[in-house]
Structure 1
Amino acid sequence: MRQARRLATGAFTAAIALSALASAPACAQDIPLQPFPVNHEQRIDSAADARFLLDGPAGKYGFIQARDGHLYRGDGKRFKCWGVNLTGFSTGSALLLPHQEAREMAAELARLGVNCVRMHFLDLPKTQSQKSAGDLGPDPVPVKQMPAGLISDGDSSRMLDPGQLDLLDFLFAELKKNGIYVDFNLNVGRTYRPGDGVPDYDLIGNAKAYTYFGPELVALQKEYAKQLLGHLNPYTKLRYADDPAVAIVEVVNENSLLEFWMRNWLRGERVKGGKNYQLDMTPHYQALLVGMYNDWLAKNRSAGDLAKLRGMAGVAAGQPVPFMRRGDHPDAPRPRLDAELAFLTQVEIDFHAEMKRFLKEAVGVKSPITPMADHTYFIANQPLMRTANKSDIMDAHVYWQHPAIYGHRDDPMVNSPELSIIQKLARSATVGKPFTVSEVNHPYPSDYGSEMIPILASYAALQDWDGIFFYTYESKIHGKWSPMVTGEFDIALDPVKMAQMPAGAMLFLRGDVSAAKKVLTRSYSTDQISEASRLPRGDMPYYTPGFDVTIPLVHGSRVTCLDCKPTLPAPLPEANPIVSDTGELSWRTDGGKNGLVSIDTPRSQALVGFIAANTQVQTRNLSLDIKNQFAAITLSSLDGEPLNLSNRMLLTTTGKVENTGQKWNDRHAMLSNWGTAPTLIEPITGWIQLKDLEGAIGVSATPLDGAARPIGQEIKGRMIEPGWEIAVGTPATTSYLIRVER
């Protein structure tokens, strides 16, 4: 998975990086960073919690259903996931927890407003192996561990470990009790052993793409799915297939045969001692796939067409027609391009149709099924959508400036609305299908990571998506963790992202941001899909010439159909700021710098970006007079009332995060020194103005620590002409519980 993500996810072109480099202002340097560690073990129920958004136990209304383009509970109400992935790569963390930690973690996630988790990497072995330092590149990073999954130790990977199953069962029961649903991800990182009977088991790693057509691998996937989903959980007294707390079942993770074709990985040169470029196939599997292709050609092309294809490929009569390499695609005759694309698409469709049949009929799964994710935005996604459209849910992954992408990084997304994760994700949303984002992050290190959650939550609500799962939340083992960020993707000890999770839950899960008033659609012909498959990277992420990429920031955006009459919405008038058709969201920049997103709804409001350069921007109830150049400030009603009438609010004041002593390398691409505990924050310092609070006679703010407990003295608000103002910055914090007396 890590290798696949390192190569396949979150690419950022040189042109994009250079553009962002030229426009990125520096964060303020005159506000000293202050220690602010997160401690989940010490957190207890608090008036600042978002647990009230959950309606537990999970599944009490019956199974989640996919219909009419969205997810619904059994009682007919809309269902959305505000979730996290569960993994275990970081120091002191674990995928499957001891019982006490599992109990604590489930309660903590509920407090954060998390109502879904994605169980990731369960198909790894019980015995963890260490990943070397520098796994994501040449710069020093903490030594990684592999998550300990369900697979027993031994000569084969076909047995589940009873002790690990018990940990899963108990964790699942605790999550369910707290109102948290589970997404089971089936084929993620499994590797194979001599006793599995898998050809080239020692060369294929986690067998991405091979799993679609290798008969031994297909059989093992079915066996594992039946072992896991057919397992009776003794704590719930239900098989997982029969438990309505299972919201979603995913078949494969970041795994596509079409991706291998578009990324030049069907070469068939992976051998022991070879160069073994990236994820290339072994000769055995390439020969198997070529044989399948030629059998397909014999059934789906006339003798004359087949002779022409042999001529295009330069092979004699009776010889198999080989696959092209990616470098041949731009100039390839359409009959050859179309034949390869059609065949590989059919292999994917057939595999997922059979897996869905097996899960439903042989295992008895009743939850919606996600076949795969659109996870590589630097290749065209329309061919992959043909496969995903055949199942229940469309899904996507994306990362802002993934740490595996070398060169300059650490750019603010708020300066690049046309390149943001919103555009990259919105390309896959389809009319009539629920849409989820099962992996997303603004990975660490970043001086601008505080922008991600409020921006994503707000625009996901505008787009009326059905689920977001941040990658990743790594639960900690008592006595083994250190209060610092130890992984590029782990948000569990990031004080900014933890503070913002409840605010994001209110923006998205509670629906404080309204869905767009208008949905603009597009459709693709067969000819367009073929041509898109060979367009250059410069056409990413949409691979749709003429499409206005600002549309998802203004209106809803969906694909209506594939292989039909092509349609394309007209470009929008140029605008700065770019304002949503609801009027609640606004995104402004100044020539690619000083970006700011404002969120203005009755129950949640926020200003995210370069505050100092946009002092004139405010929302109905929130304005800022702070020293920080860059910040993400959110104000959320905790009692469900509009902010002007709310008596209890959550104020998050977030900015830069670092580990103590961390240092960037010379290229500002990754850390040369990861640093030590504790984490440090740049305190948001100055005055927060709360305006138009009807009938308020007193306003106070209680600063909260990294366990959401009160710290310091209660801060008394001062009355000003527009309302009230609160001094922030001392003590250093990321969150305040606001109380209003009327």
Structure 2
Amino acid sequence: MKLRLLSTLAAMVSLPAMAQDIAMQPFPVDHEARVDSEADARFLLDGPAGKYGFIQARDGHLYRPDGQRFRCWGVNLTGWTVGGEQIPSHKDAETYAAALARLGVNCVRMHFIDRPDTPTEVRNGGADRGPNAGPFTNPPRGLIRGDVDNSREFNTERLDRLDYWFNELKKRGIYVNFNLNVGRVFRPGDGVPDADLIGNAKAYTYFGPELVALQKEYAKQLIGHLNPYTNLRYADDPAVMTVEVVNENSILEFWMRNWLRGERVPGGKNTQLDMTPHYQSLLTGLYNDWLAKNRKPAEVAQLRTMAGVAADQKVPFMRRGNHPDAPRLRLDAELAFLTQVEVDFHADMKRYLKDELGVKAPVVPLADHTYFIANQPLMRTAIKSDILDSHVYWQHPAIYGKRNEPMVNAPDLSIIQKLARSAAVGKPYTVSEVNHPWPSEYGAEMIPILASYAALQDWDGIFFYTFETKISGQWKPAVADHFDITLDPAKMAQMPVGAMIFLRGDVSAAKKVLTRSYSTDQISEASRLPRAEMPYYTPGFDKTIPLVHGSRVSCLDCKPSLPAPLPAANPIVSDTGELSWKTDEGKDGIVSVNAPRSQALVGFVSANPKVQTRNLAAGDIRNRFAAITLSSLDGKPLNLSNRMLLTTTGKVENTGQKWDERRAMLTDWGTAPTLIEPITGWIQLKDLEGAIGVSAQALDGASRPIGPEIRGKMIEPGWEIAVGATATTSYLIRVER
């Protein structure tokens, strides 16, 4: 073994220190085989969840009752893939609760549990699609019975699973965010008009009286339920961090995206999330009632003239194509009415949850998920809530054209800018969905960059979309969905790193927070901005601000204000000096993290050999793109730490996957096992005080030792570790002093 290692290293030495093609190697992730190890981040959790009482939203952040700040490093829980499960069995619940804790996950978002419990063979039309059939072939199985003609009855076996799953998470210090309306499928037996046409009823749920009543009934069935494993109702359990009312659901979004047309009919095209004639008529009637109470008769007459309707007819809504040239009287009336519909609905739901069901956790009404349209109108609804929340994806797979590009080359368009637009003074801020969706050759950049800049912005929570527990014996180690990170070797290796950066506060919050405010006029005009204005800040806002300082909205419908632009800079350096983002005119980008307990080099590392941190250098690796992180596992600064986690991640693929001609999407998803491009070359660990020996132990996809221990070699700056001889994503570093 020693001779083989020496020959491998000798071959590496003979190669020039530049990016080269490196063979992909199998590297399966196996959560079932994993046991507690020195490389875990479970030490960050403080179980059981809720031991200090209910999480509180106050003074702009989340707190425990004892006054300590509370942050969430979390995942969504879903079950879209064959071999995956929305609500695991008791055995699998124990396995995956332990797995999540080892990853440093202290919060989960219970998502899609309002789906029907339809068996797999029915969902897939009776066909065996196989474990790697590609995305969206296996909708999640939730709580609601699928064998009856309504969506009002729970499957008792599924509910028992949920109760047990919740308790297993709680025991390990993992809090739960319950989503109420996500993917519910309404049925004719519910007494809902057009049940067969409205799908998940997005937007309808705000004003359809039958739908509003059913949402309250569901909340009572779930949040009012007594969990026999905890002997608490969910409303009374302090392990429930938040309750979320609706997911990716906004009537303002429907208006801004041209989905109030009223053309969804049986046999129609129905190419959009459009209204049916019944609901369009209902909403139009509510609008005209509102106009009669909130606008002068002369103004209503003007609106009829603008719409070209007679005095005895109702004023209709505009279509999106009319927004750019619409008179402000008409634009403002529609915007004000639809905003009031949202505000009133969420106020009523919060009252019901708090006053009638006795919910004690903070309530989240909705998320700013519309980063492809302006968010200022939606913020009027959100800012009245306990917590502000957002969703974002880097190059979502719904983008069918050019994608699979590195975010590190586009700091002005990154997910940080799209998220920072929704944070406000005095409100906790969470990100309940985020991902670099598969396929992407640059997915390894997401977690260290997001964790670091979320810490700089002093946000309160991150939930990755998504994590899917697997059914024992029914899964294979391959990525089978655009969003499921559970078996992604790079993202699983980095989850503990992100937890240390964000939960432990390894990266400092910005020293200065710059605020902006919006006038009523600005919000109205923002509602009709074209896509070219993305991400829809005030014209003149310097989009590098969220990479340098804290960024918040101070108020809405008030005197407008805007921070002064920052001096042009490359690299863009945070005001703490810990984060740096450098590009070369849109290429060869690199982000460096230089904090006492966590450091990283993320991006085109070999093209930037001079970019280093105090304790980490990686200029002599052969890979073109890499994400390399170094974190202290014993809580000491890296220069004094005796135990560290080194992650080396890059390209990830399935075996046999095939790209389309643009290398933007897959034509064949491939199969197991997953493959990694091992990060290969030499990594320097510098300035280790008093070190007399350094060793690195490669870890496999279950965090077990693999291959021979690597002895570091002393060099002038510190110690050098040869990496890549064993295919891995992580090394446990030990320092002898």
Q: TM-score range by the shorter chain?
A: over 0.9
**Letter in structure 2 aligned against 1:74:** P
Matched, 1:327 2:315: no
Q: State the alpha-carbon separation in 2 of the partners of residues 274 and 422 from structure 1.
A: 40
Q: Helix, strand or coil for the counterpart of 1:236?
A: coil
**Are the equivalent residues in 2 in contact too, given 1:198–1:216 (CA < 8 A)?**
yes
Counterpart of 1:640 (choices 617, 635, 640) is: 635
Matching residue of 1:699? 694
Matching residue of 2:299? 305
Matched, 1:244 2:230: no
Q: State the alpha-carbon separation in 1 of the partners of residues 666 and 160 from structure 2.
A: 38
**Letter in structure 1 aligned against 2:654:** N
Query: 1:28 offset after TM fit, Å?
Result: 5.4
Query: 1:382 offset after TM fit, Å?
Result: 0.6
Matched, 1:108 2:103: no
Q: State the alpha-carbon separation in 2 of the partners of residues 537 and 143 from structure 1.
A: 28
Matching residue of 2:85? 94
- CA displacement 1:139-179 (0-9 Å, x = unmatched): 98356211110001211100111100000000000000000
**Are the equivalent residues in 1 in contact too, given 2:615–2:688 (CA < 8 A)?**
yes
Matching residue of 1:721? 716
Matching residue of 1:81? 72
Q: State the alpha-carbon separation in 1 of the partners of residues 446 and 510 from structure 2.
A: 20
Higher mean displacement: 452-461 or 148-157:
148-157
- CA displacement 1:354-390 (0-9 Å, x = unmatched): 0000000111100011100000111110110000111
Matched, 1:656 2:647: no
Query: 1:127 offset after TM fit, Å?
Result: 1.0
Matching residue of 1:588? 582
Query: 1:576 offset after TM fit, Å?
Result: 0.2
Q: Helix, strand or coil for the counterpart of 1:560?
A: strand
Matching residue of 1:9? none
Matching residue of 1:184? 178
Extract unaligned runs of 5+ from structure 2. 1-17, 127-131
Query: 1:320 offset after TM fit, Å?
Result: 0.4
**Letter in structure 2 aligned against 1:480:** Q
Matching residue of 1:48? 39
**Are the equivalent residues in 1 in contact too, given 2:439–2:666 (CA < 8 A)?**
yes
**Are the equivalent residues in 2 in contact too, given 1:423–1:552 (CA < 8 A)?**
yes
**Letter in structure 1 aligned against 2:91:** Q
**Are the equivalent residues in 1 in contact too, given 2:204–2:279 (CA < 8 A)?**
yes
**Letter in structure 1 aligned against 2:640:** L
Matching residue of 1:150? 143
Counterpart of 2:704 (choices 687, 702, 709) is: 709
Alignment of 1:71-470 (within 5 A): 71-128=62-119, 129-130=122-123, 141=134, 144-153=137-146, 154-470=148-464
Cα separation, partners in 2 of 1:326 and 1:140, compared to 1, 3 Å: farther
Q: State the alpha-carbon separation in 1 of the partners of residues 300 and 480 from structure 2.
A: 56
Matching residue of 2:476? 482
Counterpart of 1:66 (choices 40, 54, 57) is: 57
Q: State the alpha-carbon separation in 1 of the partners of residues 36 and 47 from structure 2.
A: 16
Matched, 1:630 2:621: no
**Letter in structure 2 aligned against 1:57:** P
- CA displacement 1:385-433 (0-9 Å, x = unmatched): 0001111000000000111111121100000000000000000000000
Query: 1:669 offset after TM fit, Å?
Result: 2.3
**Letter in structure 2 aligned against 1:669:** A
**Letter in structure 2 aligned against 1:486:** A
**Are the equivalent residues in 2 in contact too, given 1:701–1:716 (CA < 8 A)?**
yes
Q: State the alpha-carbon separation in 2 of the partners of residues 97 and 642 from structure 1.
A: 39
Query: 1:80 offset after TM fit, Å?
Result: 0.3
Q: State the alpha-carbon separation in 2 of the partners of residues 222 and 390 from structure 1.
A: 20
Matching residue of 1:13? none
Q: State the alpha-carbon separation in 2 of the partners of residues 632 and 463 from structure 1.
A: 21
Matching residue of 1:738? 733
Counterpart of 1:38 (choices 29, 35, 40) is: 29
Cα separation, partners in 2 of 1:132 and 1:89, compared to 1, 3 Å: farther
- CA displacement 1:187-238 (0-9 Å, x = unmatched): 0000111110000000000000000000000000000001000000000000
Q: State the alpha-carbon separation in 2 of the partners of residues 360 and 143 from structure 1.
A: 36
**RMSD between superposed Cα atoms in Å:** 1.2
- CA displacement 1:674-727 (0-9 Å, x = unmatched): 111110000000111000000001100110000000011111111111110111
- CA displacement 1:39-75 (0-9 Å, x = unmatched): 0000000000000000110000000000000000111
Matching residue of 1:23? none
**Are the equivalent residues in 1 in contact too, given 2:80–2:135 (CA < 8 A)?**
no
Q: State the alpha-carbon separation in 2 of the partners of residues 131 and 368 from structure 1.
A: 38
Q: Helix, strand or coil for the counterpart of 1:144?
A: coil
Q: State the alpha-carbon separation in 1 of the partners of residues 534 and 693 from structure 2.
A: 52
Q: Helix, strand or coil for the counterpart of 2:396?
A: coil
**Are the equivalent residues in 2 in contact too, given 1:131–1:143 (CA < 8 A)?**
no
Matching residue of 2:670? 675
- CA displacement 1:98-154 (0-9 Å, x = unmatched): 101000100110000000000000100011453699xxxxx9835621111000121
**Are the equivalent residues in 1 in contact too, given 2:123–2:139 (CA < 8 A)?**
yes
**Are the equivalent residues in 2 in contact too, given 1:73–1:79 (CA < 8 A)?**
yes
Counterpart of 1:505 (choices 487, 492, 499) is: 499
**Are the equivalent residues in 2 in contact too, given 1:141–1:671 (CA < 8 A)?**
no
Q: State the alpha-carbon separation in 2 of the partners of residues 172 and 562 from structure 1.
A: 38
Matching residue of 2:465? 471
Matched, 1:602 2:596: yes
Q: Helix, strand or coil for the counterpart of 2:559?
A: coil
Q: Helix, strand or coil for the counterpart of 2:189?
A: helix
Give TM-score scaled by structure 2 length.
0.95
Q: Helix, strand or coil for the counterpart of 1:702?
A: strand
Q: State the alpha-carbon separation in 1 of the partners of residues 402 and 337 from structure 2.
A: 39
Query: 1:543 offset after TM fit, Å?
Result: 4.1
**Are the equivalent residues in 2 in contact too, given 1:535–1:543 (CA < 8 A)?**
no
**Are the equivalent residues in 2 in contact too, given 1:268–1:280 (CA < 8 A)?**
yes
Query: 1:637 offset after TM fit, Å?
Result: 0.2
Matching residue of 1:17? none
**Are the equivalent residues in 2 in contact too, given 1:140–1:672 (CA < 8 A)?**
no
Query: 1:277 offset after TM fit, Å?
Result: 2.7
Give TM-score scaled by structure 1 length.
0.95
Matching residue of 1:20? none
**Are the equivalent residues in 2 in contact too, given 1:58–1:177 (CA < 8 A)?**
yes
**Are the equivalent residues in 1 in contact too, given 2:20–2:622 (CA < 8 A)?**
no
Q: Helix, strand or coil for the counterpart of 1:145?
A: coil
Matched, 1:546 2:537: no
Matching residue of 1:517? 511
Query: 1:315 offset after TM fit, Å?
Result: 1.1
Q: Helix, strand or coil for the counterpart of 2:97?
A: helix
Q: State the alpha-carbon separation in 1 of the partners of residues 686 and 648 from structure 2.
A: 17
Q: State the alpha-carbon separation in 2 of the partners of residues 30 and 319 from structure 1.
A: 69
Query: 1:673 offset after TM fit, Å?
Result: 1.1
Q: State the alpha-carbon separation in 1 of the partners of residues 19 and 736 from structure 2.
A: 35
Q: State the alpha-carbon separation in 1 of the partners of residues 381 and 124 from structure 2.
A: 34
Q: Helix, strand or coil for the counterpart of 2:588?
A: coil
Query: 1:29 offset after TM fit, Å?
Result: 5.4
**Letter in structure 2 aligned against 1:75:** D
Cα separation, partners in 2 of 1:551 and 1:131, compared to 1, 3 Å: farther
Extract unaligned runs of 5+ from structure 1. 1-26, 134-138
Aligned length: 711
